[in-house]
Structure 1
Amino acid sequence: MAFAPERITIYSAGLLGGSLGLALKNSGFKGTITGLSSPANLEIAGKLGCIDEGFSYDSLENAIKDTDILFLCSPIGAILKTINQLSTMSLPEGLLVTDVGSTKQRIVEAARTLPPHVHFTGGHPMAGSEKSGPSTSDPYLFQNAIYVLTPQSGNPEEKEKEFAELLERYLGCRTLFLSPETHDKIVATVSHVPHLLAVALVCLAEKMEIQIPGTLTLAAGSFRDMTRIASSSYPMWHDILSTNRSAIEPLLDSLISILSDIKSGLCRDSLKEYFERSGEVRSRITPSSKGFLRRLSEVLVHAKDQPGFIAELSGLLAKKNINIKDIEVLKVREGEGGTIRLAFENSDTARDAIELLRRNGFSARERT
């Protein structure tokens, strides 16, 4: 029998929390969705239909007294504090607590303080946006995204399977089970170290700008694509880096070693193997997948469920000589619509496409 919760509580009704609520509602969840957030966010989330009822953060124990699943959708630091609060509260028998934090070992370890009648499963949906707040909620945000689950050791396997099936049924995501340690090593490799490298490249360019004015003027194209994440929020990244330091530090050592080899290779003119191997590996990364790092030049368009929608969309762009490099229907529900992914050669073209589409009544946003 499928897991059928009657009440779900979302702690922090921002982008992820709001999108989670909308996805549940749009997919036929018949139970009650409770939200905990700031008064302003609760008002917006309520008007958009993300939640059925709202509570302030200081009403946590009262809000979850009859809850079946509690989603912790706040930043990592706040998740850890909330778990600490929960460990001192009277919690419902059989409550499932989960989170959406982008590092897992510290969170799963902290959750061991929860009472034995409470079940905890760590989670990390590979989905997001450059925007924040419940007003940017997207019911299709999780469609086709990888949703990593990191259970505590000793969790009943059947319960984990039921929760994964529930996520796939209501969110349209693809679940993947990993240990917390494996998850953190992977994201350190494909997300956290690349972010630090982007920061380093921008600092290098700034240093050269002082020596050679005009350097930043020429920093376009590939440099901008490689360094876009360097402008991300530091408070968010402070939590990520501080909770995954043990995985990041040895990878930085490996990166420094590789850069040293490349430096030596410049003198010997022996970099052919590096280029060929990196090109072959890079070609195995599926460009359309929602993974840990996504391309700058992608645009998401909300699709109406009607004949000719894609033809109208592509025709409008063609008239303005805006070339679509790739197109993918991520998910369309009959009678509701869905999301179409458009890929363009560069970020400037993507922004031109968004402006044109919005002027003509389409709902479009850049996927970063």
Structure 2
Amino acid sequence: MEKTVTVVGLGLMGGSIAMAIRERTDCAVYGWNRTAAVAQKAFEDGVLDGVANDETLAETDLLIIGLYPEATADYLLEKLPKLKDGCLVVDLVGVKKYLIDRLEEPCREAGIHYIGGHPMAGREFSGYAFASADLYDGASMILVPNASSPLWAVDELDGFFRQLGFGTVVRCSAEQHDRMIAFTSQLAHVVSSAYIKSPEAVRHNGYSAGSYKDLTRVAKLNENMWTELFLLNQGPLVTEIDEIIRHLQEYRDAIAGGREEDLCRLLREGREIKESIG
């Protein structure tokens, strides 16, 4: 795909997308960031062909938005009149039903092809300074079609993201996405944040190894972004929190009651499930 691409939001995710586009495609790349100095730095680094404005936006073939959920919807609704007919739009946001509900019909009416997107990659640091063209190598990209996105547009984005290095592209409904992400991502961040609040955490040096590092890595999160993500997906996330509380209670009761057979069974069940699903 040799087209004009604009990336809005040049943090870890958007910055990495822009870098991958620059290195792995022949597309012209423009970018915008709320902090203008970040976009200017990306231009000076050679990542961007220029800093995006309304003029470049009007020539954009593919618009990629990497802002917080509400800001993503607000930005696109504001800029819809400036986009050319048939422009493809994809976001990088970790909740989908909220965005589909706000954007599907306005985009369809405007002749804009919006596809929900969610790259399943990241790290515990944020910002353009930590962006990398290889962040998404081998990762999964989730695409969420809707009434504003014809099949050819979804197919085109599928090929585009594979060209950037993604190893898998998954297509699903907004409801399926939000239900699965509540389990695979959001719950993990809640558990990590709760776990690190043990009063023993401050004394972990000399007593911790891989399991501690694995479980606490994502506690170092952006609390503003994750608060918004959690509250916009509260139904599926609360369901998962209730489920893990139920299982923790089973372990707690077996240990407190000295019930060796029950505890062994619970641990065996967990091991067998992990072995069966990978």
Q: Identify whether the pair has TM-score above 0.5, normalized to the shorter chain.
A: yes
Counterpart of 1:258? 247
CA 1:5–1:30: 2 relative to 1, 3 Å: closer
Counterpart of 1:241? 230
Counterpart of 2:152? 158
**Structure 1 Cα separation of the partners of residues 222 and 130 of structure 2:** 17
Q: Where does 1:159-308 land on structure 2 (aligned, <5 Å)?
A: 159-203=153-197, 205-206=198-199, 216=204, 220-221=208-209, 222-266=211-255, 267=257, 268-269=259-260, 270-284=262-276
Asked whether the 8 Å contact 1:41–1:133 carries over to 2, the reply is: no
Structure 1 segments, 4+ long, off by >6 Å, are none
What displacement does 1:153 show? Answer: 4.0
Asked whether the 8 Å contact 1:93–1:117 carries over to 2, the reply is: yes
What displacement does 1:218 show? Answer: 6.3
**Structure 1 Cα separation of the partners of residues 191 and 135 of structure 2:** 27
Counterpart of 2:99? 107
Given the alignment, which residue of 8, 11, 14 partners 1:14? 11
**Structure 2 Cα separation of the partners of residues 223 and 229 of structure 1:** 11
Matched to 2:142, the amino acid is V
CA 1:173–1:224: 2 relative to 1, 3 Å: closer
What displacement does 1:215 show? Answer: 5.1
**Structure 2 Cα separation of the partners of residues 26 and 51 of structure 1:** 11
Given the alignment, which residue of 14, 31, 42 partners 1:35? 31
Superposition TM-score, scaled by structure 1 size: 0.68
The RMSD of aligned alpha carbons is: 2.2
Given the alignment, which residue of 47, 51, 71 partners 1:50? 47
Which of structures 1 and 2 has the bigger CA Rg?
1
Superposition TM-score, scaled by structure 2 size: 0.88
What displacement does 1:127 show? Answer: 1.7
Give 1 or 2: higher helix fraction: 2
Counterpart of 2:140? 146
**Structure 1 Cα separation of the partners of residues 163 and 272 of structure 2:** 35
Report the identity percentage: 23
Structure 1 residue runs of 5 or longer lacking an equivalent are 287-368
Asked whether the 8 Å contact 2:4–2:27 carries over to 1, the reply is: yes
Matched, 1:70 2:63: yes
Higher relative contact order (CA 8 A, sep 6+): 2
How many residue pairs get matched? 271
